[in-house]
Amino acid sequence: MNASILKNPWFKAAALPLAALLLTLAGCGPREEATQLDLTDKVTVPDMASAPLKPGEYRFGFDLRSSPQEDGRQYQPFLGYLGKATGYRFRLHFVRKDQSVAEQLGNGAMQFAAMGTVSIIRAQAEYGAIPIARGLGKEGRPSYRAMIVVAPNSSIRNLAELRGKRMAFGDINSTQGHIIPRILLQEAGLRLEDLADFQYTGSHRNCANAVITGKAEACGMQDTMAENLAGEKQLHILKVSREYPSGGIAASRDVPPIVIEKVRQALLDFEPRGRHAQGLYNWDKTEMPRGFVAAGLSDYDELRDWLARLSMLPGAKAK
């Protein structure tokens, strides 16, 4: 890790839980952790999540993007900024593999979370969660795309040629890692039943590795990581989706409105490429490299309808 990160006071403020986590997960190389890591084990570190919260303290969770280690390193300095900007204290909260971020936000295990669009839609529909802000992508827009990728030497040249092939996705609840790729397939006239096989790998990194290692012939994943891996000649981008509203930060319905508004304002004021850049870790590789804009429920109407059409939103009907 960069020495400036270790010296940063934001990082030090809550580094102990993260350090314990990293010690528990030590010993895996980058490739090994992405393909073999058992995420069920990662929150057994002295039951950190069950420790009582002090007044003015809140737990902050996240949808898994890369690995628990990498995601944790990215969010910890950010939480330092958020604490300094609001006067509250934020504790990083890791969600087990057998739990969902939406569920954890809904049952009070955490109060804030960085979530993909699908997670936000489900958390709102099932638990009354409140979208606070949407992430600004590398081009400064509150939207993102998904990409379907194949190996650089693949003979597959269009989506129609995925019929009868093995497909990998990220997490089943991921917008970029599952829902948007499913939309792309459906628009190309393909259903899951038309594939030889499909698997949910749990994260974008795992999904990419499934193609890189030959366990799948194609993968649906987020645009930023896909472009980085394509630039490294590890993957070839087969199809790019149009843009859909990005995910961002949501709050539990039990968080007091005054707290939500302070956090929202801090997010809107966040300048990760400007005055708040010092101390951040690989923030340019997140889905909000340029900060945030305010979010509302109507932002997600189209994808909410797609979730209903795919039977992934309990009690909802497609329009």
Domains of the chain are 3-141+245-309 (3.40.190.10), 146-242 (3.40.190.10)
CA distance 70 to 138: 19
CA distance 88 to 17: 18
Comparing 59-73, 100-114, 260-274, the range with the smallest average pLDDT is 59-73
State the chain's mean pLDDT as an integer.
Answer: 85
Percentage of the chain beyond pLDDT 90 is 66
Separation in Å, CA 268 to CA 77, 134, 255, 295:
17, 10, 19, 10
Nearest Cα to Cα of residue 30 among 86, 77, 68, 83: 68
Give the CA angle between residues 61, 65, 67 to the nearest 5°: 90
Separation in Å, CA 270 to CA 130, 197, 205, 244, 276:
19, 43, 27, 22, 7
Q: Specify the amino acid at residue 263.
A: V
pLDDT in tens, 271-303: 999 999 999 999 998 889 999 999 988 899 999
Across the range 144-166, mean pLDDT stands at 96
Could you tell me if 295 and 131 are in contact, meaning their C-beta atoms sit under 8 angstroms apart?
yes
What pLDDT score does 319 carry? 53
113 pLDDT tier (thresholds 50, 70, 90): very high
What pLDDT score does 47 carry? 43
Could you tell me if 214 and 253 are in contact, meaning their C-beta atoms sit under 8 angstroms apart?
no
pLDDT at 192 over 90: yes
**Which has more confidence, 96 or 294?**
294
Residues in the chain, total:
319
250 pLDDT tier (thresholds 50, 70, 90): very high
317 pLDDT tier (thresholds 50, 70, 90): low
pLDDT in tens, 32-87: 333 333 333 333 333 445 578 889 999 999 988 778 889 999 999 999 999 999 99
Neighbours of 180 (CB within 10 A): 28
> 167 has which bridge partners?
198, 218
Classify the C-alpha dihedral 204-208-213-215 as positive or negative. Answer: positive
pLDDT at 228 over 70: yes
Percentage of the chain beyond pLDDT 70 is 82
pLDDT at 20 over 50: no
Q: How far is CA 68 from the centre of its chain?
A: 11
